[in-house]
């Protein structure tokens, strides 16, 4: 999310960075809110919190000092529904904050035509704790830490009850696969980008942003525009939740998923890494997400493109390679997770 409007330092970045009067410290803040997009209120709270924290993680910041929660209750809900749904959303938000090593100390609740959930994240840090998103150089490699296609998965799940929509996509996907993709999207959106933020330091990332409402290409363009050097981003590979590219195509590119402009919610980090570090970053992301019981087989990161000399813009090549990312727990994911095949035991 671009921080602030107008001009001045920090505009177009994921957070605002405000130098404090006290010896070399900066206040880093971000805010975000949106409307429910999954049916489970607890998961919705988790996703909202992951989405707020993601802007800190995009700057390589792994700690958060404080969070506030913003909540709007719908006036269309009856008292009974409110009392069931709101505590679950709050609990999901608080649990995700706790996973991020922080806590929610306040906020604001209002009544409104729509449900809204979001928050504010603040941290005071030293200059070495954040990575300014402006240091990409030609030869760098672009890495993405979550698959694309969350919007398509959520919409396809809603269409299960809408025959005129379902008829458009039933030729390319089964109801079971839609449910699996929806679950996968939900877990992906609720996964914190904290591991990736820590690894940005370990592997000397030059710049990063998170992929949210403007889609991969939109955020890649924003990041390219921020760079000090005259560089361009070229994207060759698109890791996409399994079958979501086919759905997008079957809908006449309603989502523009393969074109890179399909909105994502709480998407991964798009990171510019030195060429010699990118593969190590990806394999460490994969092993750490497996251990944490987090993204499991579907977790990890993908090399999606390169940084070359250019005019501070991003583009996706004409026929990008689609990497189908299977849902965790599926046979394909388990096979994928075991590759390369272990050598046979000869003893």
Every domain of the chain and the residues it spans? 16-125, 140-326
How does pLDDT run across 30-57, given as a tens digit for each residue?
999 999 999 999 999 999 999 999 999 9
Three-state SS letters, 279-312: HHHHHHHHHHHHHCCCCHHHCCCEEEEEEEECCC
Cis status of the peptide bond prior to 170, with omega within 30 of 0: no
What length does the chain have?
347
pLDDT of amino acid 264: 97
CATH topology agreement for domains 16-125 and 140-326: no
Longest alpha-carbon distance in the chain: 69
pLDDT of amino acid 336: 53
How does pLDDT run across 114-129, given as a tens digit for each residue?
999 999 999 999 999 9
Neighbours of 174 (CB within 10 A): 10
pLDDT at 346 over 50: no
The two three-digit tokens of residue 251, written as one number: 């809908």
pLDDT of amino acid 14: 85
**pLDDT band per the 50, 70, 90 thresholds, residue 340:** very low
pLDDT of amino acid 297: 40
Class of domain 140-326: alpha beta
The two three-digit tokens of residue 239, written as one number: 């890791």
Give the mean model confidence (pLDDT) for residues 325-342.
Answer: 61
**pLDDT band per the 50, 70, 90 thresholds, residue 316:** very high
Q: Is the pTM of this model over 0.85?
A: yes
The two three-digit tokens of residue 8, written as one number: 């001045």
**pLDDT band per the 50, 70, 90 thresholds, residue 8:** very low
How does pLDDT run across 161-219, given as a tens digit for each residue?
999 999 999 999 999 999 999 999 999 999 999 999 999 999 999 999 999 999 999 99
Mean pLDDT over the full length of the chain: 90
DSSP state of 341: P
Q: Which CATH superfamily is domain 16-125 in?
A: PurM-like, N-terminal domain (3.30.1330.10)
Question: Which residues, 6 or more positions from 79, have their beta carbon under 8 angstroms from its beta carbon?
Answer: none
How does pLDDT run across 243-263, given as a tens digit for each residue?
999 999 999 988 999 999 999
């Amino acid at each position: 999310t671009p921080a602030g409007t107008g001009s001045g330092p920090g505009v177009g970045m994921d957070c605002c960075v405000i130098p404090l009067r006290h010896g070399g410290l900066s206040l880093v803040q971000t805010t975000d809110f949106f409307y429910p997009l999954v049916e489970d209120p607890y998961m919705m709270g988790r996703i909202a919190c992951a989405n707020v924290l993601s802007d800190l993680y995009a700057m390589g910041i792994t700690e958060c000092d404080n969070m506030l929660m913003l909540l709007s209750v719908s006036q269309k809900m009856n008292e009974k529904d409110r009392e069931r749904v709101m505590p679950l959303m709050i609990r999901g938000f608080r649990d995700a904050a706790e996973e991020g090593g922080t806590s929610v100390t306040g906020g604001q609740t209002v009544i409104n035509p729509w449900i809204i959930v979001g928050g504010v994240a603040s941290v005071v840090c030293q200059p070495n704790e954040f990575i300014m998103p402006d240091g990409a150089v030609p030869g760098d490699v672009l890495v993405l830490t979550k698959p694309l296609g969350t919007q398509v998965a959520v919409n396809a799940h809603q269409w299960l009850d809408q025959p005129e929509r379902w008829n458009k996509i039933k030729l390319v996907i089964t109801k079971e696969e839609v449910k699996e993709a929806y679950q996968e999207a939900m877990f992906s959106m609720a996964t914190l980008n904290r591991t990736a933020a820590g690894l940005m330091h370990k592997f000397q990332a030059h710049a990063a942003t998170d992929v949210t409402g403007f889609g991969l290409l939109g955020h890649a363009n924003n990041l390219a525009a921020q760079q000090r050097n005259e560089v361009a981003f070229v994207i060759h590979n698109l890791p996409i939740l399994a079958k979501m590219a086919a759905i997008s195509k079957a809908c006449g590119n309603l989502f523009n998923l393969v074109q890179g402009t399909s909105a994502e919610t709480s998407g991964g980090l798009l990171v510019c890494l030195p060429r010699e570090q990118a593969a190590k970053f990806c394999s460490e992301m994969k092993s750490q997400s497996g251990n944490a019981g987090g993204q499991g087989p579907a977790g990890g990161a993908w090399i999606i493109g390169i940084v070359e000399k250019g005019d501070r813009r991003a583009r996706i090549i004409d026929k990008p390679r689609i990497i189908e990312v299977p849902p965790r727990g599926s046979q394909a994911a388990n096979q994928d997770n075991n590759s390369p095949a272990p050598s046979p035991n000869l003893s």
